[in-house]
Amino acid sequence: MKFVVDQQIEDIEMPENLKLNTFLQEFHSDCPHPECNFGFYGFAFGQSPFPVPKLIQEALVKNADKGAYAPISGIPELRNAISKYNKHYFGMDVSPERIHVGPGTKALIFNLLEILHGTVILPTPAWLGYLPQIRFLKKNYHMLPTRSNKKISPNNLRRLALRLHDRQKILILNNPNNPTGLLYDKLELEEISDVCREQNITVISDEIYAQTTYDFSKFVSMGKIYPEGTFVTNGLSKSHAAGGYRLGYVVFPQHAVDLKTQFKKILATEYTAVSTPIQHAAIAGFEISKDIEEYFEVTRNIHQIMGEYTYNALSSIEGVIATKPNATFYLLADFNHYATDLQKSEIFTSQKLSESLIVHPYHTAIVGGDSLVLERTDFSARIAYVDYDGSKVYQNYLNNKPKSASEKLEFVKNNAPKVVAGIEMITKFFENVKKTSLNLSQTQKNSMMTPS
């Protein structure tokens, strides 16, 4: 039997991170090089390496018997806890009525894009999950390339908004940012919100990395700066290393009661509610406690140490420009300095660069620029610095906190040898690309001198 698939489904592509993951799984078991059984240095998959906080695990254990359907918007205890969490950590007064719980922020952002009419403004580079959603929903969208500092230019945002004639415009703000690891400060958010007010732009502020901000006092939520026009999404996945649990939440804008009703309909129509035991477990993650506070501190400190190492190591490769992360476990590395050399090795696209780095002898997995909604020929890549044993490293950090620069360097070398070795591989790769390029130029020159 032949089945007919809706056209827009045929047209969308698999989200790049999952495509890559599938590719890596296949590659892992099948390196074509004889006698090579090494997998890869994993700079590609964006998952926190730490164990789920004990408190959350214990709460899940205690609530395994909760087999009944939960209310569509989430169980009241959880929404209360999230309300207090927002007050405590983000200084936001958000009543539980403004909070909806969903099976991950990805699903919630998808549902928001489903209900909100209008053109989407997507700053680039961007997390690899937004574009497939926008395309699948057949929404109008426009890219907004960021400035050289990789942040949104308020003026460019205004210029773009003035060109759009849709009744509603939706800006997807991702702060702290995946893939750059950069944090927008209060002033920057205020400048963006001024334009949003002026141009009537609705904001979906994906703040899933908020708690990973290295100097947490610097984090400011867009929900605080622009409360009347911002949907804030957050969840357990990154801060609580529980991506597999699948639980996120969205804070609705002030006075958006109408919209909440529409949103509930969608959730009820598509998936009823989030897993009840998982919701009960999540309460422990959002309740204020010394354990969770310590967990946030330790994990963000480790991310910072790994991030500084990765930034310094990549920046020390000739010509490589990297963003210096203030949060998350990513940075964006710009390898365009090698564009001409790469082309001489028949590497014309970022996709090809990723493929060239993953094969023997480099075995290094990165997320190439086109997956980050950059030009296919932009040799930038997202580098995730999480390829280490999170449980061990957490414990090692607690046992002996590195303070000085040299202690931190030692900590990375001892605890994340694959991160260190992977960056060495990247270094070696570009050295070889350069060498090949020089040799080719030499051969070319020689051949020009020796007529055939």
- Helix 290-315 × helix 417-449 angle, to 10°: 20
- In whole angstroms, the minimum distance from the beta carbon of 176 to a copy of itself comes to 20
Per-residue burial over 73-108, b if 16 or more Cβ lie within 10 Å, else e, is bbbeebbbbbbebbeebbebebebebbbbbbbbbbb
Cβ neighbours of 65 (radius 10 Å): 9
Binding mask 123-162 for a copy of itself (x = CB under 8 A): ------x--xx--x--------------------------
Applying CB under 8 A, does 64 fall inside the site for a copy of itself?
Answer: yes
List beta partners, residue 201.
Answer: 169
Smallest separation, CB 429 to a copy of itself (Å): 28
Among 36, 115, 288, 421, binds a copy of itself (CB under 8 A): 115
In terms of CB distance, is 244 or 319 closer to a copy of itself?
Answer: 244
Min separation Cβ 252 and a copy of itself, Å: 10
Q: Kindly tell me the sign of the dihedral angle through the C-alpha atoms of 38, 41, 45, 51.
A: positive
Span 268-287, contacts to a copy of itself by CB under 8 A? 268-278, 281
How many residues touch a copy of itself (CB under 8 A)?
A: 79
Total residue length of the chain:
452
Stretch that binds a copy of itself, among 83-91, 260-268, 419-427, 442-450 (CB under 8 A): 260-268
3-state secondary structure of 54: helix
Nearer to a copy of itself, 273 or 333 (CB): 273
Q: Is 70 in the site for a copy of itself (CB under 8 A)?
A: yes
- The nearer residue to a copy of itself, 12 or 164, going by C-beta atoms, is 12
> By C-alpha distance, which of 244, 223, 218 is closest to 233?
223
Q: Which of 140, 262, 316, 414 binds a copy of itself (CB under 8 A)?
A: 262
Q: Is the peptide bond before 125 cis (omega within 30 degrees of 0)?
A: yes
Q: Which helix H or strand E contains 323, and what residues bound it?
A: none
**Residue 23 or 136: which CB sits closer to a copy of itself?**
136
- The residue within the footprint of a copy of itself, chosen from 243, 307, 402, 422 (CB under 8 A), is 243
Residues 6 or more apart in contact with residue 372 via CB below 8 angstroms: 124, 125, 126, 127, 128, 179, 332, 380, 381, 382
Q: How far is residue 444 from each of residues 98, 141, 289, 441, measured CA to CA in Å?
A: 67, 46, 67, 5
Identify which range of 86-94, 151-159, 251-259, 426-434 contacts a copy of itself by CB under 8 A.
251-259
244 binding a copy of itself? (CB under 8 A): yes
Identify the bridge partners of residue 331 per DSSP, sorted by sequence position.
Answer: 383
- 332 is a site residue for a copy of itself (CB under 8 A): no
Q: Is residue 13 within the footprint of a copy of itself (CB under 8 A)?
A: yes
| Phi, psi at 250, each rounded to 5° | -125, 135
Which residues, numbered 84-103, are part of the site for a copy of itself (CB under 8 A)? 103
Does 241 help bind a copy of itself (rule: CB under 8 A)? yes
Which of residues 222 and 247 has its CB atom nearest to a copy of itself in the complex? Answer: 247
**In contact, 118 and 126? CB cutoff 8 Å:** no
- List binders of a copy of itself among 364-423 (CB under 8 A): none
